[in-house]
Amino acid sequence: MRELQDLADALINGYADRVSKLTNELLETGVEPQTILNEGLIAGMTVVGEKMRTGEMYLPEVLQSASAMHASLKLLKPHLVKEGVESRGKILMGTVKGDMHDIGKNLVGIMLQGAGFELVDLGLNVPPQKFVEAIGMHQPAVVGLSAMLTTTMLNMKTTIEAINNAGLRSKVKIIIGGAPVSQKFADDIGADGYARDAVKAVDKVKELLAA
């Protein structure tokens, strides 16, 4: 669809206003929010990642694409999240220490809220101890850890160890995600689950809570 390609192009170029305008237009014409997300925003962000890898795009430009994505996600959120549904359980989410990527985590949070879960979002660059304190304070059923760098994914392990050492491991299920992690890595560091995208994350959380 031409308009979805326009949205992806505007995101790649970091034009936040145009991204917002196109998002609204697509919603008004009845395009599913999930389609806007996958075929517009995520498709565009994948190109941004590729251009970043090959040195065609630099950090300031990537940041502009990221804020354009944030602007669009804000518009999509009310369409993805049902209000007034009874909570299916509390989920605590955060991007681990040293990692400044939060778009994927935010998206997982939105989809979980959409499925009726209550979300406590600790943000990004979250040290292990902060996860431990937040578990004590909020008593979530599930903890979601996000990492986008091969260097910071190791902090998922340290976070799980800190939760273990605080005697809280048996009280929560832990799910991990982010581009560099895998089911094998989840098994290796003692997480309960892994999901590769936001839709699968919802399925995995439901599965973990049913077990």
Nearer to ligand B12, 26 or 202 (CB): 202
Tokens of 25: 């237009």
Query: Are residues 143 and 135 in contact, defined by beta-carbon separation less than 8 angstroms?
Result: yes
Question: Of 101-120, which residues contact ligand B12 (CB under 6 A)?
Answer: 101-105, 107-108
Give dist(CA 48, CA 28) in Å, integer: 27
Beta bridge partners of 18: none
The most distant pair of C-alpha atoms in the chain lies apart, rounded to whole Å, by 53
- Show the site string, 186-205: x = touches ligand B12 by CB under 6 A, - = not: ---------x-xx--x----
Query: Are residues 151 and 101 in contact, defined by beta-carbon separation less than 8 angstroms?
Result: no
> By CB under 6 A, which span of 21-29, 82-90, 92-100, 115-123 interacts with ligand B12?
92-100
**Interface with ligand B12, residue 68, by CB under 6 A:** no
| Best CA proximity match to 91, nearest among 147, 126, 131 | 131
77: Cα within 13 Å, side-chain hemisphere: 14
**Interface with ligand B12, residue 100, by CB under 6 A:** yes
- Show the site string, 2-41: x = touches ligand B12 by CB under 6 A, - = not: ----------------------------------------
Q: Rule CB under 6 A: which residues touch ligand B12?
A: 42, 45-46, 48-49, 52-53, 59, 62-63, 66, 98-105, 107-108, 144-146, 148-150, 175-180, 195, 197-198, 201
